[in-house]
Amino acid sequence: MRTRTTLSLAVVAASFVTYILFVERHTLSTQEKADTAARVINIEPGKITSIFIQNAGSPIELHKKDGVWRLKHPIEDRADDLVVSQLLSTLESLQHNSKIDVPAAQEKDRLKEFGVADSELRIKVRTESGKEAELLLGKDSAIEGKQYIRQQGANTVFVINGNLRSQLAKKPEEFRDKRLSDIQLQQVHRLGIKTPDGELELERKSSHWEIVKPLRARAADQKVNDLLASILTAKVAQFYPETPTPEQGLGEPRATISIHVEGDKEPITLKIGSAPLGEVNKDHSFARLLNRPAVTVLSNLALDPLLKARPNDVRDRKLVRVESDIVDRITIESVRRPKIVLIRKGEGWIQKEGDKEVRINEAIPPRLLANIQSAEVTNFVSDVASDLAKYGLEHPQMKVTFSSYASENTAETHAGERPILAICFGNVEGDTGYAKIEDEPFILATPRNLLQSLPYHSAQLQPLGILKIKPETVSSLEIMAEGSALKLEKKESGWKFATDARAVPDEAAVRAILGTLCTLHTSRWLAPEESGEQGADQATTTFNITINAADKNSTVTLTIGRPLGNEGFYSKLSTNEGTFLLSTADHTTLSRRLTK
């Protein structure tokens, strides 16, 4: 019985709460009631589709279609969305400070007295459903900043703030869209610029821009987009009648700009004429966009970037345009040296020597690719590669080929290597090197250090880790330097000198030297010709490291030679081919005094 009573009370309580929430949701608050009662017009701005304004000038008519406002009278053109939105917002928030109910017997005289009998300043709005409201603005009231207003067909006169008057008193051109064009940058797929100096045409292919006239070359995407943005976002300083006059210079324009939009057969043409008269207009020009009914005046700040653009100004100065993730193979061919083939394997890279796979420093291929991708052309030397020998490109010093590799046949591709692009590097003069993309006719100048950053010998590809030894496996260490030799042996009680039992080794120095030797790294490996006469063969210090592992002794020899400037010291290891650089910091540690 108790359970049934509890359930009944719970149902009643829930019903009561639901009723309260419903009532609160559908009952206006006191403030909302007051705001609604004070409104002059009760039409939601979002539902308004046409606006008619009558003022002392020409009547103004605006219509909205597909969410876009257009000016229909006195001229048909795009409307300024911001100006229209501000007007609609003012209507929505229009509230009266007081109201006067005019008796029918006094209607004629009193409405005339307030200036709202037949006002010269009025606005009519209509919704999509056909609902209409018309407001007539009258005289200023006795209170400063306020005026009388009446809705057509009503006998009630309201007193409102005076900011609506200034919006309705605008000239038709103030309702026109001040943007020269409403085209979005991503809609444009071709741009043409014609001036007395020549023609420049650019075309977007996929996501990149290309120059198609007066030559075919890659264009810098950002530079072309900046050119387009300068004109697409240009603001109209002044509107003139649609029919040009001779003094505007549009009959024989000093520039014609063609903008091709996706989906349109014909381009949108902008003609640039002369400067308007007067000091105030000296930095402006007449312009006419042929799909818009007006001659406009535009600032030269928007026009000059296009009028002064030349092919080399918008060319892509990146040496190459290649995506890292599609590169599976890098082939490096150098004069009188074996070819280097680097292939992607899993998440890393290896070197391929015939059927043999060789472990390499896996940071080198990504760094090589990044250096090529970030390299910029310092000068476009020639647009016609007619004299390759002059720049050392007939028989280039080096050729780097990037390829992708398909391991299986698909509907689109066949198995095997597919070259993406190849770069040839020629002579170096001072700080400049010459290069050519194999499938392009141009000779390019690049920084000298780009060529120097590319590996050309297999020795340069070795991993940077030189030694990896467990210190506890080292049983003896012999150091030969400056004509003398010193040998340390590990005993149960610690490290001892093998030649002089009375001398006591500095344990901290021994640990530091062993720590450096057992984890020895290099900043880079050198090609054979980099070793020079003062290389590791000119030994200054030699370390013989004896390792005892599985009751079998082996010895590794580290030879340190002369310094290579501030880069480090030429060094060799008996277990590796080639010469590497020992850092100055490691050299300092290995030179520590071993006796206390």
State the DSSP string of 227-251: HHHHHHTPBEEEEE-SS--GGGT-S
Residues 45, 169 within the same domain: yes
The number of angstroms, rounded, from the C-alpha of 376 to the middle of its chain's C-alpha atoms is 17
Domain annotation covers residue 554: yes
Residue 28 banded pLDDT, cuts 50, 70, 90: very low
Domain annotation covers residue 62: yes
pLDDT attached to residue 411: 57
Residues 169, 191 within the same domain: no
Map residue 293 onto helix, strand or coil.
coil
Which has the closest alpha carbon to 399: 340, 459, 458?
340
pLDDT attached to residue 23: 47
> Taking a C-beta distance cutoff of 8 angstroms, is the pair 90, 137 a contact?
no
Mean pLDDT of 412-429: 86
Q: Is residue 5's pLDDT more than 90?
A: no
For residue 380, the surrounding DSSP H or E stretch is strand 379-382
Dump pLDDT digits (tens) for 505-532: 999 999 999 999 999 999 999 988 887 6
CATH code, domain carrying 284: 3.30.1490
Of the chain, the percentage scoring pLDDT greater than 70 comes to: 91
Residue 420 and residue 404: Cα distance in Å, rounded?
A: 7
> Taking a C-beta distance cutoff of 8 angstroms, is the pair 334, 397 a contact?
yes
Residue keyed to tokens 């005993």: 491
Residues 200, 257 within the same domain: yes
Q: Is residue 100's pLDDT more than 50?
A: yes
pLDDT attached to residue 499: 77
Domain annotation covers residue 210: yes
Residue 586 and residue 506: Cα distance in Å, rounded?
A: 18
Question: Which residue among 132, 156, 175 closes a domain?
Answer: 175
Residue 281 and residue 65: Cα distance in Å, rounded?
A: 36
Cα dihedral: 260, 265, 268, 271 (round 10): 100
- Lowest-confidence pick of 263-267, 294-298, 397-401: 263-267
Which has the closest alpha carbon to 259: 315, 196, 186?
186
Q: Is residue 33's pLDDT more than 70?
A: no
> Taking a C-beta distance cutoff of 8 angstroms, is the pair 358, 350 a contact?
yes
pLDDT attached to residue 58: 81
The number of angstroms, rounded, from the C-alpha of 2 to the middle of its chain's C-alpha atoms is 71
pLDDT attached to residue 167: 92
Q: Is residue 227's pLDDT more than 60?
A: yes
Note the pTM of the prediction, 2 decimals. Answer: 0.75
Q: Is residue 20's pLDDT more than 60?
A: no
Residues 293, 334 within the same domain: no
Mean pLDDT of 286-306: 93
Residue 248 and residue 295: Cα distance in Å, rounded?
A: 9
Beta-strand (E) ranges in 118-173?
Answer: 121-127, 132-140, 146-151, 156-161
What average pLDDT is seen over the chain? 89
- Lowest-confidence pick of 48-52, 280-284, 461-465, 564-568: 280-284
Q: Is residue 104's pLDDT more than 70?
A: yes
Residue 19 banded pLDDT, cuts 50, 70, 90: low
Map residue 400 onto helix, strand or coil.
strand
- Lowest-confidence pick of 96-105, 118-127, 198-207, 326-335: 96-105
Q: Is residue 415's pLDDT more than 50?
A: yes
pLDDT attached to residue 546: 93
Domain annotation covers residue 424: yes
For residue 155, the surrounding DSSP H or E stretch is none
Cis, bond preceding 74 (omega within 30 deg of 0): yes
Dump pLDDT digits (tens) for 466-500: 999 999 999 999 999 888 889 999 988 889 998 77
Domain annotation covers residue 500: yes
Domain count, the chain: 5
Q: Is residue 32's pLDDT more than 80?
A: no
Buried b or exposed e, range 77-87, using 16+ CB within 10 angstroms: bbbbeebbeeb
Residues 48, 156 within the same domain: yes
Residues 489, 444 within the same domain: no
Question: How many Cα atoms occupy the beta-carbon half-sphere of 172 within 13 Å?
Answer: 21
The string of DSSP letters for 520-582 reads: -B-S-EE-GGGS-TTSTTS-SEEEEEEEEETTEEEEEEEEEEEEETTTEEEEEETTSSSEEEE
pLDDT attached to residue 62: 97
Residues 145, 263 within the same domain: no
Dump pLDDT digits (tens) for 347-381: 999 999 989 999 999 999 999 999 999 999 999 99
Domain annotation covers residue 595: no
Residues 495, 444 within the same domain: no
Residue 18 and residue 160: Cα distance in Å, rounded?
A: 41
Domain annotation covers residue 486: yes
566, two tokens:
């501030």
pLDDT attached to residue 576: 87
pLDDT attached to residue 417: 81
Buried b or exposed e, range 111-138, using 16+ CB within 10 angstroms: beebbbeebebbbbbbbeeeeebbbbbb
pLDDT attached to residue 9: 60
pLDDT attached to residue 1: 45
Residues 370, 389 within the same domain: yes
Residues 128, 66 within the same domain: yes
Give Cα separations from 459 to 23, 170, 358, 456 (angstroms).
Answer: 85, 79, 11, 9
Q: What is the domain extent for residue 509? A: 471-590
Residues 6+ apart with CB under 8 A from 383: 215, 217, 441, 442
Residue keyed to tokens 């996706």: 262
Domain annotation covers residue 466: no
Cis, bond preceding 305 (omega within 30 deg of 0): no
Question: Which residue among 438, 461, 484 closes a domain?
Answer: 461
Comparison of pLDDT for 538 and 103, the residue scoring more: 103
Residues 328, 457 within the same domain: yes
532, two tokens:
């020079």
Give Cα separations from 85 to 51, 110, 123, 182 (angstroms).
Answer: 12, 34, 15, 17
Dump pLDDT digits (tens) for 549-594: 767 889 999 999 999 889 999 999 998 888 999 999 999 999 999 8
CB atoms within 10 A of CB 411: 4
Q: Is residue 6's pLDDT more than 80?
A: no
> Taking a C-beta distance cutoff of 8 angstroms, is the pair 364, 372 a contact?
no
Question: Which residue among 408, 434, 461 closes a domain?
Answer: 461
Q: Would you call 478 exposed, middle or buried from its count of C-beta atoms within 10 A (0-12, 13-18, 19+)? A: middle
Q: What angle do CA 191, 193, 195 make, to 5 degrees?
A: 175
CATH code, domain carrying 46: 2.60.40
Residues 485, 534 within the same domain: yes
